[in-house]
Amino acid sequence: MVDDQAVFSSRTIAEASASAGPSPGATAPETAGPANSTSCPTYGWTGWTVELSPPPKAHSAVKQMTALVQVVFQAMVDQLGVGDKAAVPDVNELLRLTGLSDTIDKSLVTDAHNIAVERMQGIKQGLIAQHRHITASVAATAKMGTALNRDIWNEVADLRAALHAAGNGKLSTQMEIGLLDRLRTSLRTVWQKYNAVTDANKSNGNAMGPLTLDDLKSLAPGADPDKLRQYLPYLNRAILEAGITTPKREAAFLAQIIHETDKLKTLTEYGDEDRFNRLYGPQTAVGRSLGNTNTPRDGARYPGRGALQITGRSNYREAGKHLGIDLERYPEEAAKPEHAFDVAAWYWTEHDLNAAADQLPDDPDKLGRFDAISREINGGSNGAAERREYYLKARDRLDGRDVPDAD
């Protein structure tokens, strides 16, 4: 998931937390609540407040992730008091939204304006507001809830020790990556226990979990593993936001991007300016249909970029409007990983390709409708056999997770 140094850093943090107790300040959960305990109408069951403080000189990503973990755990404690499972967000979805589902980008701890930091802050604020206005009604507690409350308390205590062990000085990038990984792991660990107790997340029951690095390596075995590691959080974020979350949809989307990017080896179309002007220039019908009519060199300015290799001034303009980026003025941005998969998801959604994927038959010999998706993306039959092969390979991989298709 992360590099060896980061894993070592995370292990060091874990060892430090194991040897230390919770730092003072948190309200204890009163022996984790007896089996016959009732709910506290203010803070939730047994009335304790989750408190976590990041190292004072940590970058924004570590601070926001710490705050996010704090409010998610608080929502879980609140839920134990009021019986409102909907108040607790899906942790897998949160990690996908913030780009932290499978790997952690070093830029997170060097760039305070990273989009993941902004997303974490927004999600955190929403949960804080929810906590402030949570209903005062109470519900009977169960013995399983007693154990879960204790587990949350123990995890918070371990995290407080780990964060405290990082010290008050400036942290190294690897130490901060280790902290992010520790916080993420903690969220997932408690979420699994919470899900087992409350049977939560019914609304997302048919959704695929995040793609893993092993998934990408299996589907694009010749790609650079470091590139795949870099791409993965952006890919997961894009497919979630575009609703590409069933095996048919994900397999169709992955098949197209794997073909268009030469098995995830490039996010820019192969070729030089002369080739692009010859293919997409304003003197051609294709170029004119793509909106390449402003300058003679529009063909070279707007060749295929991004995970689906969008082409032409018009597509760049519209994708940029959707993403809030001026891609018409700065077209090279479409080939950066942080935008390339969002651009692809925009195109996929704009052409209603989820609906097309939903109609794909399970019989591998009857994939005519899949070819229609390919034509929508490529404009012809280029690579049709390969795209089908990638689709079937992705279906095999994703169907192995035993997740039902959407109707």
Question: Which SS3 state, helix, strand or coil, does residue 190 take?
Answer: helix
Angstrom distance (rounded) from CA 377 to CA 168: 52
Question: Beta-carbon neighbour count of residue 93 at 10 Å?
Answer: 18
Residue 284 burial by Cβ neighbours in a 10 Å radius (0-12, 13-18, 19+): middle
pLDDT for the residue 198:
64
pLDDT for the residue 84:
59
> 383: closest CA among 276, 302, 309?
309
Angstrom distance (rounded) from CA 277 to CA 49: 62
Question: Which SS3 state, helix, strand or coil, does residue 212 take?
Answer: coil
In DSSP notation, 388-406 reads HHHHHHHHHHHHTT--PPP
Q: Phi/psi at 310 (nearest 5 deg)?
A: -65, 145
pLDDT for the residue 365:
80
pLDDT for the residue 241:
80
Instruction: Give pTM, 2 decimals.
Output: 0.54
> Which residue in this structure is represented by tokens 């997170």?
108
> Where on the phi/psi map is residue 270: left (φ > 0), alpha (ψ -120 to 50), or beta?
beta
pLDDT for the residue 138:
28
Q: Answer yes or no: are the C-beta atoms of 388 and 369 closer than 8 Å.
A: no
> In the chain, which stretches have pLDDT less than 70?
1-48, 78-87, 101-103, 105, 107-119, 122-147, 196-209, 400-407
Task: Name residues whose C-beta falls within 8 Å of residue 3's C-beta, 6 or more positions apart in sequence.
Answer: none
Question: Which SS3 state, helix, strand or coil, does residue 246 take?
Answer: coil
Question: Beta-carbon neighbour count of residue 379 at 10 Å?
Answer: 12
